[in-house]
Chain A
């Protein structure tokens, strides 16, 4: 009963939203499949069956692309050939690689939303974190490697935290709305990165592109498996650890209690003696710090080189992701895995069926839409409105 109420019930709406999005996505696939629809006047039944088969093909390619072929995975279990094993587990590890930055940015957004501040600047905090780490690696390149990695992570985290703290400070002291300031600071961050990547110190010798010197030859986040072509590194493990830490912090610490109280009701929090301004600044700095650490691990783990397009919208996707996750750390992990799988599986789907990757962004957008409109999902599935006690409301 407790597990039901704590885990399944809150997940029910997002799951139904995901399911509905895929159903609507299928319908979209069907009606955009012009080649197939041409046969409709002559052979309606055949057209429908063929259409359904195409949809099945597309989705199964996506699933295989994201999680691998079950038979291959089974074969890899008994094999000792690293190439066979790598080939089997590569899709799923790529999904995890794609999820890692989303977990960090998702947690960053979730922690800010939980505390009533709307940090739209996770994107900027993410890339500035990565930039901070990049500079740190190049400045301290002669420091012993494990120490250098830790140093880079600390500096990357602090860079993101500072970029989050600024709008927090402005809000607490002057009342400047954080949505405006964080959005604007995203642009400032992007320009700062571009500017930095032009400097002789950061850019590769003779390069004209906005990229940094290769960092992976100096230091990199250790890989989890020593297998060819497997990029999964310990950044993913850190993401999971962070999810647990964030959950503990929010729900079990007194600071987390203050942040949540201030987030729900600033007036009542003040009445209870909570320092509201401090809560806002702390929440924004924590949020930015998480984003910064995510950026650090992305540049030092997955990519190995700073560039101005390091983030493919991780910070913005994270807003949708946190919404889907209901701002719960566990939900963030689940939603990040879903988004990661869509991203990874979409590649194979595109190759195999010619359906553009955009379909999956379409599905992703539908997921968000359905999550944002719970009444719609409720009416589709004829669910009763439930209040906090699981009692149908009047």
Chain B
């Protein structure tokens, strides 16, 4: 079915979230909807799915104007949403999850017609190549399969317009490729797909047309064949963006971080790091690449003092840190940008200012004799906000109300606010928009050129290839290979990531 959104405007107090946005998607077409965080993608989709009502503008499906007062009407009109955060009940099985809310019931007791529902689930699953076990429990399924259950849910409700919101955010590269295959299968069957993302590579690969949103307006609509990553990034951000990090050749000096034959167990007491040796020298960026869950998290936690190692040796700036506390490690000049900033990097309920001093509150000039110095703390935080262009109403703003990019900048600003010898950055740009990614990468290269040793852990191939001087690929708790950054290719890294030789 052809879907058209015409001149949609939605205003929130103080924000014009959607300003006369028009998009359309034809039957069997994939429309890539590209935009940074805050560009208005989510608001637009909430209007399409009946959660918000537009201030003006209209929604046309198959040429007729539709007004949605609630999500049910949107579903009835054939619009299926697959949210970034899945809306599934962990203890339900696939059939129950899919049928929930659209189940057919029989008898005065309202018995769930499971057999019929199961038949349809199996049928849809086979027809679209989704390959989902109808009787598996949701909580036992990997993330990629859960996403397919969400797609099944939409299909079960006879959706012919499917909206996928940042679908690849939780997927491995291989799962993403599978998803693309499924999308192509769906469009071949006549389903229209709106694919929301901020990843340039994906949208170029999967979309038939791309509409770029910027600050609540349409910045342009292009065909993948006629455009490039650079052009898309420029449309998204509104200025020229350096996609490739500009950096000179590394000038490696002495070894700052030395990891030798390290074994580390994870929380389930399984061996996660199975004998890793790695050296990072001052003035170079080493990237640890790999699919998530191959021991990188545990390795990083061991280095920064959060996890005890079972054997081996970790030396930072000449000091053995195997039994050092996180604070001792930080005091050696280690900046740590944790993988999950909301869990480990920031205290969401505290202010920007308080987060800024989170690991230096106990030191002069921020405090003395156990008392905080409000004026010095405020001055330092103001400085950090200025230096790192953190967009926040004030330093007294609660961290959780900042955008993801600005939250990450708070973390980076804090970690770089003291003299740094070693930077350990885990997924430093996860979930960030192009502008923020560029900014963080530039800062990392700056630190390198100032003589720091940089260890980046990333699952994003683009990031690894863009910034690394050397690439260590981790697979199944071991280093599968080390490549020179300048000469490494996507294919070479990809093969090592999959454990191949």
Q: Which residues of A contact B (CB under 8 A)?
A: 252-255, 257-258, 260-261, 264-265, 267-273, 384, 387-389, 391-392, 394
Contact = CB atoms under 8 A, between A and B. Distances in A.
Contact of B345 (A258, A268, A387): A268
B327 A391 contact: no
B142 interface: no
Contact of B372 (A253, A261, A268, A273): A253
B494 interface: no
Chain A interface SS verdict (over half)? helix
B393 A254 contact: no
The 4 closest A-B pairs by CB, nearest first: A273-B327, A388-B398, A392-B13, A272-B359
Interface stretch (B201-209, B243-251, B273-281, B348-356): B348-356
A43 B350 CA distance: 59
A254 B350 contact: no
Contacts of B346: 265, 268
Interface string B378-402: 0000000000000001101110010
Interface stretch (B189-197, B311-319, B336-344, B442-450): B336-344
Nearest to B326: A273
Contact of A389 (B328, B344, B350, B397): B397
A271 B338 contact: yes
A265 B397 contact: no
Contacts of A272: 326, 358-359
A375 B401 CA distance: 19
Contacts of A273: 325-328, 330, 359
Contacts of B43: 394
A268 B358 contact: yes
Residue from the set A257, A258, A272, A391 with the largest chain B CB neighbour count within 10 Å? A272
A273 to B, nearest CB: 3
B326 A271 contact: yes
B141 interface: no
A217 to B, nearest CB: 42
Contacts of B14: 391-392
A21 to B, nearest CB: 28
Contact of A254 (B343, B345, B362, B401): B362
A269 B338 CA distance: 12
B370 interface: yes
Residue from the set B14, B15, B336, B358 with the largest chain A CB neighbour count within 10 Å? B358
A277 to B, nearest CB: 12
Contacts of A270: 306, 326, 344
B393 A389 contact: yes
Residue from the set A268, A269, A388 with the largest chain B CB neighbour count within 10 Å? A268
Nearest to A256: B372
Given A252-B372, A265-B346, 9 more contacts: A253-B372, A254-B372, A264-B349, A264-B350, A270-B344, A272-B358, A384-B13, A389-B397, A389-B401
Contacts of B374: 252
Nearest to A392: B13
B350 A261 contact: yes
A384 to B, nearest CB: 7
Contact of B393 (A255, A268, A269, A391): A391
A388 B343 contact: no
B397 A388 contact: yes
25 contacts: A252-B371, A253-B371, A254-B367, A255-B370, A257-B361, A260-B350, A264-B347, A264-B348, A264-B350, A270-B306, A270-B326, A271-B345, A272-B326, A273-B328, A273-B330, A387-B398, A387-B401, A388-B401, A389-B394, A389-B397, A389-B401, A391-B13, A391-B393, A392-B12, A394-B15
Given A253-B370, A389-B397, A394-B17, A265 B12 contact: no
Interface string B257-294: 00000000000000000000000000000000000000
Contacts of A392: 12-14
A270 B15 CA distance: 37
A254 B359 contact: no
Nearest to B394: A389
Given A388-B397, A391-B13, A394-B17, A271 B371 contact: no
Contact of B344 (A258, A264, A271): A271
A387 B336 CA distance: 30
Nearest to B358: A272
A271 B398 CA distance: 19
A389 B395 CA distance: 11
Given A254-B362, A271-B338, A391-B14, A265 B343 contact: yes
A267 B361 contact: no
B74 to A, nearest CB: 20
Nearest to A390: B393
Residue from the set B328, B338, B347 with the largest chain A CB neighbour count within 10 Å? B347
Contacts of B350: 260-261, 264
Contacts of A253: 370-372
A254 B354 CA distance: 11
A128 B348 CA distance: 37
B348 A271 contact: no
